[in-house]
Amino acid sequence: MLLALLTPLGLNVPAACPRAAVAACTPAARAAPAAAAATAGSGGLSAAAAIAAFWSQVVETQKTQTRREATLPIEATADAALVLEYMNSCADLCRSDACSVTLPATEQATADAAIRVVVEPTAASSLEPPPSPAREAAASTTREAALEQMMTWFTGALMACEIGDIDADADDAATDDETFVALGRSLLHTKSSEVTFAPTVQEMHADLWRLVAESDYLLDGSGGARTRRCRPPSAGWRASVIRPPRHAAPAGAALFVAPAFTNFEIFDDFSLLVRSGLRYLVSPKIEVHVYHPLARSERLRAPMPTVHIYLDNEDLFADGDGTLASLLGSM
């Protein structure tokens, strides 16, 4: 269906979502430690794996109300100081939620190429949200049903774009065409997904960063940005004919869906923290699109909270058949 919708633009887009698109949604994949799939050859963790491990420590402390500590070795290609800076931002969030996080000084983390994390409970956890009919209904949704609902919504969003409208204003027509291609292209190249029913924002952070740590195609070599003045990626996508790849450049998209999370204001804050981490620790070229039912813009009002993470490449070329069945095939 998505491939058929892209046909009117005449782009050389071969096909859509690979057959392994939702492998991360299986119980076995969800249970796997984030660091296991992201440990570098040097024995250190990628920036994404280190952040996933950090949040795992926080979540376990909240659940067990016991002190936890871990030393996280950082791989040579990552910037330990930048990873530590982001962890300090995350620690500020934890302090307001009955949890205290102690981290080393920047000089020590840089010298050791490792970050020692100590997490302690400061009060009885009260992070479980009160029950509500909306949350209970969302929690009863299966992972497959949640993905199917979001793909149906995305398809409708594509169909709503008035591409090739000769009667439209030139600027409006160009905007619609670019929106259509950008959204369709990111969906066609979605390689993995995670549907989380985490009841807390801390657990959502852990789930999302585990997904990123396991998604090698999001790592383009510029992660752990050495400069802190990264320009954000362009909001639009320059339409051009897609050529077969000259090399296996990392690229693709990951879909993160949280059907049971109903505090949309907190979800906005969650997405802002995630976006900054992805762009400064993983790649400054990453695009992060956030959707939920009460989004400020009408075009972002999806039926459930969703984060779509996308790293584009002009040589991106995927296989598949462009159908929902392909997206759900490995589930």
Side-chain-facing half-sphere of 43: CA atoms under 13 Å: 4
Is 68 inside any structural domain? no
User: pLDDT by residue (tens digit) across 142-178?
Assistant: 888 999 999 999 999 888 876 655 455 555 555 666 7
Is 121 inside any structural domain? no
User: pLDDT by residue (tens digit) across 271-310?
Assistant: 999 999 999 999 999 999 999 999 999 999 999 999 999 9
Exposure b/e, 23-43, CB count within 10 A at least 16 = b = bbbeeebeeeebbebbbeeee
Is 115 inside any structural domain? no
Question: pTM (2 decimals)?
Answer: 0.73
Residue 121 in contact with residue 62, Cβ under 8 Å?
yes
Is 43 inside any structural domain? no
**Domain range enclosing 310:** 2-35+171-328
User: pLDDT by residue (tens digit) across 120-136?
Assistant: 998 755 445 555 555 55
Looking at the structure of the chain, the number of domains it has is 1
Is 247 inside any structural domain? yes
**What percent of the chain is modeled with pLDDT above 90?**
43
Nearest to 253 by CA among 51, 1, 2: 2
Is 267 inside any structural domain? yes
Is 246 inside any structural domain? yes
Is 86 inside any structural domain? no
Mean pLDDT of 189-201: 90
Residue 320, amino acid? G
Tell me which long-range contacts 265-274 makes (C-beta under 8 A, separation of at least 24).
Answer: 266/201, 267/201, 267/292, 267/305, 268/292, 269/201, 270/201, 270/204, 270/205, 271/307, 273/89, 273/90, 273/93, 273/205, 274/205, 274/208, 274/307
